């Protein structure tokens, strides 16, 4: 696939999407948003892809935020469009696991793209911030909602109100990322994670994501009921039978995806 602002490649079970605007610290333009939608959809529809990861070109930034040259001209009507919020939602709803491989600066809209991913892995040079308040606006890509759900209200308010960068160690401490690795090992770590995830029955990550993302929006009782129906549905699949047989026979399973 050819893009102007992205690189797209498959590495075994992994589809790697690289935001490719290093001269602008991978700032997310409107054209980049459109291409991210197309690339995520392509990975979701490709049966050979089991995991999707997003990273940034170069060694300075995952994404420094939205392209401010465009934000200058953004009016009320344009601001009400989903834009980055739509990309994060597509990642969240993707039936396959999504990973943000965060190298360097991860600010503003870049952080909001990462928040839409299921897993966030950071290199040690990574930095995180929501600096929109310094520009006279607030985040519009989901940070005011996803960040407190992820790291708690107190840490989210600290990041949102203060607008100050936090380093990778602090991000790990508050749960913004769950894995911290040497920068040189970032993509190799994500590749290893993808290969590990590819060893599960294809329906498992899809159901797992749905349970967590949808379940957290309702009551505990509703979420528990939904979990039981989902587990019961999987108990009727051929892959459940194969998984149990493979375990008992001490052999690798041969998944059918149904």
* Nearest-angstrom CA–CA distance, 94 and 164: 31
Query: Would you call 65 helix, strand, or coil by DSSP?
Result: coil
* Nearest-angstrom CA–CA distance, 221 and 144: 26
Query: Would you call 88 helix, strand, or coil by DSSP?
Result: helix
Tokens of 238: 């051929």
Q: Which of 112, 195, 217, 236 is catalytic?
A: 112
* Residue pointed to by tokens 């498959």: 10
Q: Which of 81, 89, 92, 132 is catalytic?
A: 132
Q: Give burial (CB, 10 Å; 0-12/13-18/19+) of 227.
A: middle
Tokens of 4: 């102007």
Phi-psi domain of 58 (left: phi exceeds 0; alpha: psi -120 through 50; beta: other): left
Query: Would you call 8 helix, strand, or coil by DSSP?
Result: strand
* Residues whose CB is less than 8 angstroms from the CB of residue 61 and which lie 6 or more positions away in sequence, other chains included: 22, 25, 26, 103, 104, 105, 106, 110
Residue 132 annotated among the catalytic residues of the structure: yes
Residue 35 annotated among the catalytic residues of the structure: no
Backbone φ and ψ of 54, nearest 5°: -125, 135
Annotated catalytic residues are: 112, 132
């Amino acid at each position: 696939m050819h893009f102007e602002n992205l690189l797209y490649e498959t590495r075994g079970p992994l589809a790697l999407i690289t935001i490719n605007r290093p001269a602008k610290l991978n700032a997310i333009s409107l054209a980049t948003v459109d291409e991210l939608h197309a690339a995520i959809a392509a990975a979701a529809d490709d049966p050979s892809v089991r995991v999707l990861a997003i990273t940034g070109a170069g060694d300075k930034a995952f994404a420094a935020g939205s392209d401010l040259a465009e934000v200058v001209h953004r009016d009320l009507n344009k601001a009400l469009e989903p834009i980055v919020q739509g990309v994060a939602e597509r990642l969240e709803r993707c039936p396959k696991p999504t990973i943000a491989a965060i190298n360097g600066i991860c600010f503003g809209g870049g952080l909001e793209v990462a928040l839409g991913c299921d897993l966030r892995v950071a290199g040690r040079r990574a930095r995180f911030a929501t600096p929109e308040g310094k520009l006279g606006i607030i985040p519009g890509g989901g940070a005011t909602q996803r960040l407190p759900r992820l790291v708690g209200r107190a840490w989210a308010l600290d990041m949102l109100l203060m607008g100050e960068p936090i380093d990778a160690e602090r991000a790990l401490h508050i749960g913004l990322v769950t894995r911290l690795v040497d920068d040189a090992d970032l993509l190799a770590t994500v590749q290893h994670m993808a290969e590990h995830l590819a060893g599960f029955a294809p329906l498992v990550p899809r159901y797992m994501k749905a349970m967590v993302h949808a379940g957290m929006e309702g009551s505990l009782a509703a979420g528990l009921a939904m979990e039981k129906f989902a587990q019961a549905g999987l108990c009727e699949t051929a892959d459940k039978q194969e998984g149990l047989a493979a375990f008992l026979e001490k052999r690798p399973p041969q998944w059918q995806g149904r």
